[in-house]
Amino acid sequence: MFHVDTYRGTKKENYQLATKQLQALMEGEPNKIANLSNASALLNQLLDRINWVGFYLEEGNELVLGPFQGLPACVRIPFGKGVCGTAWKENKVLRIANVNEFPGHIACDTASQSEIVVPLVKNGSVFGVLDIDSPEQNRFDEEDEAGLTAFAAVLAENL
């Protein structure tokens, strides 16, 4: 349905297009897993220089692996642990330039060098996170943070 060549604009325009595509894919589809699966596929097509993109969803006091694109991943992350657990606990985006310098980083894939984690929030409550890893240090910038935050907000509102 969508091809990587679709994303030929500026980074900001590409994020806006991906968010519109997400809205179109989710329209009338109530299944959370289907919507998260398409969201991870869209981001995998949009983003270059990444090695993992996916979701972790709250289950009790842990985040549990959800739909993703990439190598097999850690299945459970405790509240407040690693980059994902910390972003969940603090309800804030964490953009980590060098994961090796993050205290308590959980290395699911040793090739990952940088990471961005965006909380998924609905009705004021964090119910999961969007997690993206890159094999390059300092891969994610302010524009990525803004685009991914907007993408995650649309996703969360429609789940």
Residue 2: per-residue pLDDT: 46
Query: Phi first, then psi: what are they for 28, rounded to 5°?
Result: 80, 5
Domain ranges of the chain: 4-157
Q: If pLDDT is split at 50, 70 and 90, which confidence band does 129 have?
A: very high
Residue-wise pLDDT for 131-140, tens only, equals 999 999 999 9
* Tokens matching residue 52: 């993992």
Confidence of residue 5 (pLDDT cuts 50, 70, 90): low
User: Which residues are 62's β-sheet partners?
Assistant: 59, 78
The correct answer on CATH 3.40.50.1820 for the domain covering 4-157 is: no
Where would I find the H helices in 47-135? 82-90
Residue-wise pLDDT tens digits, 51-106:
999 999 999 999 999 999 999 999 999 999 999 999 999 999 999 999 999 988 88
pTM of the model: 0.94
Whether residue 128 has pLDDT greater than 80: yes
pLDDT (tens digit per residue) in 40-52? 999 999 999 999 9
Q: Are 84 and 62 in contact (CB under 8 A)?
A: no
Q: Distance between CA atoms of 100 and 71, rounded to whole angstroms? A: 19
Helix/strand number for the chain, H first, E second: 4, 6
The whole-angstrom separation of Cα 113 and Cα 78 is: 21
